[in-house]
Amino acid sequence: MKLTLMGSGYVGLVTGACFADLGNDVICVDVDAGKIEKLKAGHVPIYEPGLEELIRRNVAEGRLQFTTDAAGSAEWAEVVFICVGTPQRATGKADLSHVFQVAETIGKNIKKFTVIVDKSTVPVGTAQRITRYLREITTVEFEVVSNPEFLKEGAAIKDFQNPDRIVIGTESERAREVMNRLYSSHARVNRPILFMRTQTAELIKYAANAMLGSRISFMNALGTLCEKIGADIKEVSKGMGLDTRIGPRFLQASPGYGGSCFPKDVRALVDVMESLQLNANFFRAIDQVNELHKKSHLGRLQQFHPRLSGLTIAVWGLAFKPRTDDIRESPSLTLIEQLLEAGARVMAYDPEAMENTRKLFPWVEYTHTPYDAVQGAHAVMVMTEWDVFRNLDFQRIKAAMTEPVIVDCRNIYDMEEMRGMGFKISGVGR
Ligand code: NAD
């Protein structure tokens, strides 16, 4: 099939490369000419395991192309995906300006029946709004389908190949036939494909993210109680998660959720509900707990060093989670801002996210290894659970530090073992 993806970010690139790998002819479009030039030259502008190899192979075999020519690519395709960003406005509302810019380009250029698939996360009712908008600018036949994206950065290719489910919002038989063809290889291996109305599909995306965010905020809120009463959130989590009605996933205390999806999607859900005069207190609390929690880690450090001015603090992990270079709304950024404000010198290490962080905090010192980051440090804050932090040489680390203090915001270390080695350590919720 001939597929065009409007927007070549995490979602557009991964989806485009994966569909090309299934034998489709794919064009990935972006307004960012620099990004397209890089892609044409063989450089992948984001870090996602396996993506570079997948893109290289499909470009070499002639199935995958990159361009800034949105008009020509919209006209060429049978299916046009909308994969542009839907960032948050100051009010919490989702900013749909990129979505409607792309919709306009599609509407002005299609010449034959085209299925327009929205993969961007958008408020309920957006597919219907796009349909109404397009009817004003084209007489060509089209269908707008909602197909929300559930990929997890760091495991995005696996998620495409083996999704828990594929959600498709359309009531059109013609669009359904096209979508069935598009996902036929997934159907063959029995991945669930759910068809429904567009509004329902759009809501499932927000509902899933709000549920995952609520589990994280639930555990972090409970963690504050654990810290006061001497309970251990890791054990609480295990004891809860073994209940098959609850399950163990997304039940860990952490520095708080970040990334390009959970924070903005929870706030957008609040906005949608409030705009319909519904009580959104439950969903608002998820965000409030998370924002407060992200600011609380400085206090954990101050248990050891009440005054931070002039001290050197190492930060391990900048990405909002491992196996990505994405730092959007990462708890590390909140912490670094607080540390700098308190007058600390910050040494940071992350396997993939240092270049992105350097653009925001050029005055932080970035190091080549986790060992370099702790050189002379008065404490190390563990903010992302990259595997590399798990089995380091802690005797070497202790010898390099001015003070052997670890604030383990991911609870990856055995506290007794660390204390046995001479470290002072605290975690989250324990
Ligand atoms: P991104 O910011 O990485 O990429 C968006 C791309 O769209 C950018 O490269 C931008 O230059 C481009 N763009 C903007 N306007 C354009 C236009 N008019 N024409 C062509 N390109 C244009 O965003 P992302 O992380 O890929 O997310 C895209 C959407 O998917 C968002 O709605 C997001 O909420 C949703 N989503 C993201 C993830 C994720 O993990 N990143 C997962 C599921 C859903």
Pick from 102, 27, 29: which is nearest to 68 by CA?
Answer: 29
With H, G, I as helix, E, B as strand and everything else as coil, classify residue 303.
coil
> Which atom number of ligand 1 is nearest to the Cα of residue 105?
18
Pick from 391, 417, 209, 411: which is nearest to 297 by CA?
Answer: 411
Distance 322 CA to ligand 1 centre (A): 20
Average pLDDT estimate for 226-236: 97
Pick from 366, 337, 335: which is nearest to 350 by CA?
Answer: 366
State which of 4, 48, 84 you would mutate to test the pocket of ligand 1, scoring each by most atoms of that ligand within 8 A of its C-beta.
84
Whole-structure pTM value: 0.94
Residue 104's pLDDT band, with cuts at 50, 70 and 90, is very high
- Please provide residue 190's backbone torsions phi and psi, each rounded to the nearest 5 degrees: 65, 30
Whole-number pLDDT of residue 52 = 97
Distance 101 CA to ligand 1 centre (A): 13
Whole-number pLDDT of residue 365 = 98
Distance 267 CA to ligand 1 centre (A): 18
> Which atom number of ligand 1 is nearest to the Cα of residue 32?
11
Residue whose entry in the numeric block shows the structure tokens 């060093």: 305
1 beta partners: none
Spell out which residues line ligand 1, taking CB within 6 angstroms: 6-12, 29-32, 35, 70, 83-86, 98, 101-102, 119-121, 149, 151, 153, 260-261
Per-residue pLDDT tens over the stretch 366-387:
999 999 999 999 999 999 999 9
Per-residue pLDDT tens over the stretch 8-66:
999 999 999 999 999 999 999 999 999 999 999 999 999 999 999 999 999 999 999 99
Per-residue pLDDT tens over the stretch 126-155:
999 999 999 999 999 999 999 999 999 999
Pairwise CA distance, residues 180 & 183, whole Å? 5
Per-residue pLDDT tens over the stretch 261-317:
999 999 999 999 999 999 999 999 999 999 999 999 999 999 999 999 999 999 999
Pick from 107, 109, 179, 173: which is nearest to 146 by CA?
Answer: 179
> Which atom number of ligand 1 is nearest to the Cα of residue 13?
26
Percent helix / strand / coil, the chain, rounded to 5: 45, 15, 40
State which of 147, 260, 321, 356 you would mutate to test the pocket of ligand 1, scoring each by most atoms of that ligand within 8 A of its C-beta.
260
Whole-number pLDDT of residue 92 = 84
Per-residue pLDDT tens over the stretch 159-214:
999 999 999 999 999 999 999 999 999 999 999 999 999 999 999 999 999 999 99
Biggest CA-to-CA distance, the chain: 74
Q: Residues near 43 by Cβ (< 8 Å), separated by ≥ 6? A: none
> Which atom number of ligand 1 is nearest to the Cα of residue 153?
40
Pairwise CA distance, residues 70 & 30, whole Å? 8
Whole-number pLDDT of residue 90 = 87
Strand order in the sheet with 345-349: 365-366, 345-349, 312-316, 379-382, 405-408, 424-427
Average pLDDT estimate for 412-423: 98
Average pLDDT estimate for 322-328: 95
Average pLDDT estimate for 238-248: 98
Per-residue pLDDT tens over the stretch 157-167:
999 999 999 99
Nearest alpha carbon, ligand 1 atom 14? 84
Whole-number pLDDT of residue 331 = 98
